């Protein structure tokens, strides 16, 4: 049984039976994970919302046993901040999506990204960042790192593995594939292999795929991050992020930072995250190649950015490494297209493009590429 039969006919999935089987198997595993435990032979369909600050213990021995298990690295709770059954269920479901043994919950996608940077870097270190990642990484996290004596540089995904960017103090390479707005796809296995050779942690923002369409950890990444605020949450009523890994050492380091920052997600929000993921496959199946194709046929449109379009520069990689696409499309209006009707749209688009360009603080190649597009309109 699967939840993805509508997607089987979706034009936004690569037409490949291996991909299809993988997504259907994932759908089944996700459907069966994070469920409430049976008690007396029965259980609710959805895991209950378990809210607590202080926990009760049946005895001092029970407290001591749990405290020891937690000390030994097990993900069990002796206090509300450590999470409840609701949090554990969401961690399990994200673990299925990401193919991860360990998942931490964060208060937003940006908070999950900060958690990774703050864990992997210490004063004097350097991070290499793909130039088209989510804007606030440069806008908010880069200045925070600068205060801690950590500097960053940027590279362009489509130039391939950034051999020349390597520095002796580099510790982290951080990417987002497809990248924000331009939807550029990175050759993750090649990048991760290069990172591994040089002792770098390779971290990927996997928000675009929500784990449903792509599992960075299976392609060699050490850490996969999601803003579950977006597709995974799905209903625009939740702020949440996740960090997943299969590396036990990184997990311990991430967990220590997570504890120190007191990143405690509310049980209600954990429950909303679970609810969202139950419909993720069906929602992803509804999108949006038709919109992208329609835009491509419009004279006023100079370029459409969507990796499922066959002439997109990232299409071949997308087809090999992803099992589908979502509904994010952006496009550039041709300058010459500003006829009577198009001008109105163009003004709105220009405002949005200015906003986007303003967010790309540094004069990085991605900014130049966006600026070169006459006007970019972003659809969410």
Question: Binding pattern to ligand PLP, positions 239-278, x when CB under 6 A?
Answer: x-x-------------------------------------
Asked if 6 and 282 touch (Cβ cutoff 8 Å), the reply is: yes
Number of other CB atoms surrounding residue 99 within 10 Å: 17
Kindly state whether residue 134 participates in binding ligand PLP, applying the rule CB under 6 A: yes
28, 34, 35, 36 alpha-carbon torsion, rounded to 10°: 170
> Which phi and psi angles does 330 have, rounded to 5°?
-130, 160
The alpha carbon of 205 is separated from its chain's Cα centroid by a whole number of angstroms, namely 4
Kindly state whether residue 227 participates in binding ligand PLP, applying the rule CB under 6 A: yes
For ligand PLP, the closer of residues 16 and 268 by Cβ is 268
**Catalytic site residue from 62, 69, 79, 81:** 81
Number of other CB atoms surrounding residue 104 within 10 Å: 27
The C-alpha angle 311, 317, 323, rounded to 5 degrees, equals 100
What is the rounded distance in angstroms from the CA atom of residue 95 to the CA atom of residue 284?
A: 19
Span near ligand PLP by CB under 6 A; candidates 76-84, 194-202, 225-233, 271-279: 225-233
What is the rounded distance in angstroms from the CA atom of residue 241 to the CA atom of residue 232?
A: 10
Residue 176 Cβ, how far from ligand PLP at the closest point, in Å? Answer: 6
Kindly state whether residue 49 participates in binding ligand PLP, applying the rule CB under 6 A: no
For ligand PLP, the closer of residues 229 and 376 by Cβ is 229
218 in active site: no
231 in active site: no
Residue 284 Cβ, how far from ligand PLP at the closest point, in Å? Answer: 15
Number of other CB atoms surrounding residue 362 within 10 Å: 15
Shortest Cβ contact with ligand PLP: which residue?
109
Per the DSSP assignment, residues forming a β-bridge with 104 are 243
Answer for which of 78, 86, 119, 207 binds ligand PLP (CB under 6 A) is: 207
**Catalytic site residue from 24, 88, 134, 183:** 134
Residues with active-site annotation: 81, 134, 205, 230
Residues that bind ligand PLP (CB under 6 A): 108-110, 134, 176, 180, 205, 207, 227, 229-230, 239, 241
């Amino acid at each position: 049984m699967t939840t993805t039969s509508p997607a089987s006919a979706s034009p936004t999935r690569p037409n490949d039976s291996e991909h299809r089987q993988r997504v259907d198997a994932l759908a089944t595993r996700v459907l069966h994970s994070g469920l409430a435990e049976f008690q007396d032979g029965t259980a609710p369909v959805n895991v209950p919302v378990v809210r607590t600050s202080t926990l009760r213990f049946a005895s001092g021995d029970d407290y001591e046993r749990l405290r020891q298990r937690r000390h030994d690295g097990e993900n069990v709770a002796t206090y509300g901040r450590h999470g409840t059954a609701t949090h554990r269920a969401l961690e399990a479901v994200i673990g299925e999506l990401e193919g991860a043994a360990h998942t931490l919950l964060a208060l937003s996608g940006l908070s999950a990204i900060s958690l990774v940077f703050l864990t992997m870097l210490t004063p004097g270190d350097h991070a290499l960042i793909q130039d088209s990642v989510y804007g606030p990484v440069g806008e908010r996290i880069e200045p925070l790192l600068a205060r801690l004596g950590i500097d960053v540089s940027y590279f362009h995904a489509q130039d391939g593995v950034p051999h020349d960017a390597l520095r002796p103090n580099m510790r982290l390479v951080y990417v987002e594939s497809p990248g924000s707005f331009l939807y550029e796809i990175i050759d993750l296995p090649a990048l991760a292999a290069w990172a591994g050779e040089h002792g770098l942690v390779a971290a990927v923002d996997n928000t675009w795929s929500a784990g449903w369409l792509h599992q960075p950890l299976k392609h060699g990444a050490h850490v996969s991050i999601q803003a579950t605020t977006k597709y995974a949450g799905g209903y625009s009523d939740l702020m949440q992020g996740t960090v997943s890994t299969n590396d036990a050492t990184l997990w311990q380091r991430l967990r220590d930072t997570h504890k120190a920052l007191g990143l405690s997600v509310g049980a209600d929000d954990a429950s909303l995250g679970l609810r969202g993921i139950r419909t993720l496959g069906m929602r992803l199946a509804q999108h949006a190649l038709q919109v992208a194709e329609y835009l491509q046929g419009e004279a006023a449109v100079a370029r459409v950015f969507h990796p499922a379009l066959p002439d997109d520069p990232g299409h071949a990689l997308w087809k090999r490494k992803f099992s589908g696409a979502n509904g994010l499309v952006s496009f550039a209006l041709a300058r010459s297209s500003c006829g009577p009707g198009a001008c109105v749209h163009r003004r709105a688009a220009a405002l949005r493009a200015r906003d986007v360009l303003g967010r790309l603080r540094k004069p990085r190649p991605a900014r130049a590429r966006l600026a070169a597009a006459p006007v970019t309109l972003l659809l969410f």
